[in-house]
Chains A and B, each alone.
Chain A
Amino acid sequence: MAVIKLQRPKLNFGEKIYFGALIKGFFLTMTHAVKSLRGKSAGADSLASSGLGVTMQFPEQRWDEHLPEYYRGAPTLVTDEQGRERCVSCQLCEFICPPKAIKITPGEIPSDDPWAKVEKRPKEFDIDMIRCIYCGMCEEVCPEQAIFLRKDYLITGLKRADMVHDKDKLYQIGGVRTGLVNKWNELK
């Protein structure tokens, strides 16, 4: 194994007596303090903060419009433009979910339904948001592009039961997503 011997830097007299560095340090910290108090912290604009520091003050100042496209918020289920469920309850997401937050009860689509050809849809679809780690694996594994991570990040509740998103809630957050999905193709 290579051993790298570090040579301590040779300090000159001014650096040894340390006072110069102290005063420089005081100037640095005081500049930051004064700038913060005047509401002119460096980088405050680009981070959309109040100027008192670069911190965004949350309930008043929101991050929403600064969220990047790839932001991974709460996982949701989506319907297509005709209001049909995309999920076919294959349970791949339940299988891959690292913290086992997803619980699916598969159900059959009755034969009199116009989309009986799809055969299955979820009867129950629960995501426990206390367990969810927002990894996005469910979105990646979904063969039907039915589960997406949306930009919702304020998942709060007063009870444990509130934190479990059921099917209605998931569809409510997820909304409609347009785009071609093969299984709806009549010709296939």
Chain B
Amino acid sequence: MPSYLFWLFATVMLIGGAAVIAFRNPVSSALSVVTCFVGLAGLFIGLSAFFVGVIQILVYTGAVMVLFLFIIMLLDLKDEEKRAKGIAPLAAGVGLVIAFVVQLIGVLSRTPNKSAPALNQETLAAAAGHFPVGEKIATSLTAGRLPDVQLIGHTLFTQYNLPLQILGVLLLVATIGVVALSKKQAE
């Protein structure tokens, strides 16, 4: 990714993130989160992780945040706007931020500065050896394309098959639980 695109999307993200807490109106805040997510998706796509970037938009921006917005609009929260700015929450927020930054610096300073291999023809072709010859992943890797969707699928269904199934069951349980709870309330 050209560095100017990184800075562009990073700025979009940061502005969005700052706007979330700066706005008093809940709807504005929700839309700022959306902006932040779009910037994040841009960063993912810039890192050649097309699938993750698109899923970021599809799931978080297109579904989760829409539901948030939906609820906010239905509740019509007004007292948030009227509330006076107290010094205590502000101080707590700043403290949290400082703590997080200190932690981040601590972690990053100890991490060896290892740059990821460039995604060019040679490295991709070299990686093709890990996959069975003649399959889609291997052929597109030797052709110099990164088949990120297929790679994610391959990883999920070979290395992490059991966790994936367990996750699916977990989600199913949550879904059924929601239905059961809402049904009980309706009666």
Q: Does a CB–CB distance below 8 Å link A and B in the complex?
A: no
